[in-house]
Structure 1
Amino acid sequence: MEHVRTFSKRTVNPVVMRFAGSAHSSFAVVRHVGRRSGRAYATPLLLVPVADGFVIELTYGFAVDWYRNVVAAGHCTILWHGREYECDAFEVSEADMGLQAFPAILRLPLRMLGARDFVKMKVLPEH
């Protein structure tokens, strides 16, 4: 699994970043700060909007750098359909609940890929 994750990080993510976060993309961009380096990072993610935030499928589990950075910082910015959202309050979702947040057309492939790790990020109210 580590080889797939490394390949995705170095090869797939740069391609996806070209359109992630745009008005018609299924992918969003999470902007976060490195927990040790303090550097700014941007990572493409598959997510769906829900009533007060977003549900994100964690393809490689909870140990990925972007998620650990966001938890350490306590917040992040999500670029979704051309708009930025400040998020905090990360809540782990059960697999069934996480899958139900996604449209039916994505549920089957997510199940086939063994998706079981989901997190809900709450959008902060605009000031």
Structure 2
Amino acid sequence: MRRKWLWLIKNTLNKVAMRVARTGHGPFSLVRHVGRKSGKTYETPIVVARVPEGFIAELTYGEDVNWYRNIVAAGGCELFVDGQWHQVSAIEPYTSEAGRDAFGYPAKLVLQVLQKHEFRLLRTA
């Protein structure tokens, strides 16, 4: 069931989110990453929050999604936020409370209600 759900998201919502992210407006950003096995370059839409050290990403579908596994294996990635590319040099765990706080209101409330607790700092240079 989870696999089917992720396929549906990838082939519908992600296509729309990628178009919005490329405009540099709206809630979506793009993470550009290299496949662990294929070596191919991929772009995946995600939602991030800016913090002084870089950006916070909420792992909506957990650690087992390809974009996250790829950036961990590579030790970094590129992130397109608000029309600009940023080089991510490290990926670090981030506390749940601080992660939710980074997104501000009303997103913080939504993350609390949905009991989201997996956040990562995407540290930029």
TM-score range, shorter-chain basis? over 0.9
Extract unaligned runs of 5+ from structure 2.
Answer: none
Amino acid at match of 2:20: F
Identify which range, 102-111 or 18-27, moves more after superposition.
Answer: 18-27
- In the other structure, the counterpart of 2:44 is 43
- In the other structure, the counterpart of 2:21 is 20
More helix by share: 2
Shift of 1:4: 2.7
Amino acid at match of 2:68: Y
The DSSP-based 3-state class of the residue aligned with 1:19 is helix
- In the other structure, the counterpart of 1:86 is 87
Aligned residue pairs: how many? Answer: 124
1:31-110 alignment runs, 5 A limit: 31-110=32-111
The DSSP-based 3-state class of the residue aligned with 1:98 is helix
Structure 1: distance between partners of 2:99 and 2:22:
21
Amino acid at match of 1:55: I
- Percent of pairs identical after alignment? 40
Structure 1: distance between partners of 2:32 and 2:112:
27
Residues 26-70 of structure 1: per-residue CA shift (max 9 Å, x gap): 110000000000001000001011002000011001111000000
Structure 1: distance between partners of 2:55 and 2:19:
21
Extract unaligned runs of 5+ from structure 1.
Answer: none
8 Å contact from structure 1 (residues 32, 40) kept in 2: yes
TM-score by length of 2: 0.92
The DSSP-based 3-state class of the residue aligned with 1:35 is coil
8 Å contact from structure 1 (residues 22, 80) kept in 2: no
TM-score by length of 1: 0.91
1:8 and 2:3 are equivalent in the alignment: no
Structure 1: distance between partners of 2:102 and 2:35:
28
Shift of 1:21: 4.5
Amino acid at match of 2:17: V
Structure 2: distance between partners of 1:7 and 1:111:
25
The DSSP-based 3-state class of the residue aligned with 1:100 is helix
The DSSP-based 3-state class of the residue aligned with 1:116 is coil
CA RMSD across the alignment: 1.3
